[in-house]
Structure 1
């Protein structure tokens, strides 16, 4: 099933010049980049994106982190793109991610974990509309 999903290369990835290395992993694994945007995320967009976490203790830190410096928003496509991207990224905590996942290779910590990806086809549609209105 050919589907599209959203990936965010977070500030720590951009600050450490990892854009090319990370994007090449998705392409090397048969996914196609359909759209890409280098930008500084606004507080409003970030809060909308992470709305389900509003009120949680880490919410404000998450918003500050994502808005501190530029990010790269990417739409990738391919068969089962959502699940494939999530497998390539690894778990949220880089320390718990499998060998050679993007977060194991490049993630700094649970809070600076280098990439975000949509967790379902429905989330991917919602998130693409937020970042690529």
Structure 2
């Protein structure tokens, strides 16, 4: 069964001009783009989006980073979309990410790791 997942190319990906390369990799891996737009999160909206991490040591830095520049939210569809996309993006820390994953190819650090991928089927709702 096809399902949906949310990806967000983070501000570092936009700043480093790798949006096109990331989208190309996503499509070459069989994902269909249902919606996409260039956006800018406010600190408030970034805080709400990442509320699940509130209270964790990295929360404030994450919210500040995600509201620091433009980002590209993308709704993707594919069979087993959530798990497939999590595999495609790789580990949060690019040093630990598998070869040929988005984070291994484009991310610079654990904090600036170019892409968010939902870890649940929240987009099916």
What TM-score do you get using the length of structure 2 for normalisation? 0.96
Unpaired runs of 5+ residues, structure 1, are 127-133
Deviations 1:18-66 (Å, cap 9, x if unpaired)?
Answer: 1110011111011100000101111121111111111112111001100
- Per the TM alignment, residue 125 of structure 1 is displaced from its structure 2 partner at its CA by 4.8
- Cα distance in 1 for partners of 2:86, 2:57 equals 25
Q: Which residue of 2 aligns with 1:47?
A: 47
TM-score by length of 1: 0.90
Q: Which runs of 4+ in 1 moved over 2 A?
A: none
Bigger fraction of residues in helix: 1
Which segments of 5 or more consecutive residues in structure 2 lack a partner in the other structure? none
Query: Could you say what the CA RMSD is over the residues aligned between the two structures, in angstroms?
Result: 1.1
Matched residue, 1:58: 58
Residue equivalent to 1:98: 98
State the match for 1:86 in structure 2.
86
